[in-house]
Amino acid sequence: MNSFRVELNYNIYITGSNAYLLSSEYATYLAGRYVEIKMLPLSFSEFIYFHDLRLEEIAGVLDKKRSSFVIKMGSYTT
In this prediction, residue 25 carries a pLDDT of 60
In this prediction, residue 59 carries a pLDDT of 74
Q: How far is CA 35 from CA 15, 17, 40, 49, 73, in A?
A: 12, 17, 16, 28, 43
Reported as type and span, the H/E element at residue 67 is helix 55-73
CA angle 62, 64, 67 (to 5 degrees): 105
For 50-65, the pLDDT digits (tens) are: 888 787 777 777 777 7
pLDDT at 74 over 70: no
Between 48 and 67, residue with greater pLDDT: 48
Domain chopping of the chain, boundaries: 1-39, 44-73
User: How far apart are the C-alpha atoms of 26 and 41, rounded to whole Å?
Assistant: 26
For 8-51, the pLDDT digits (tens) are: 666 767 666 555 555 556 666 666 666 677 777 878 778 778 88
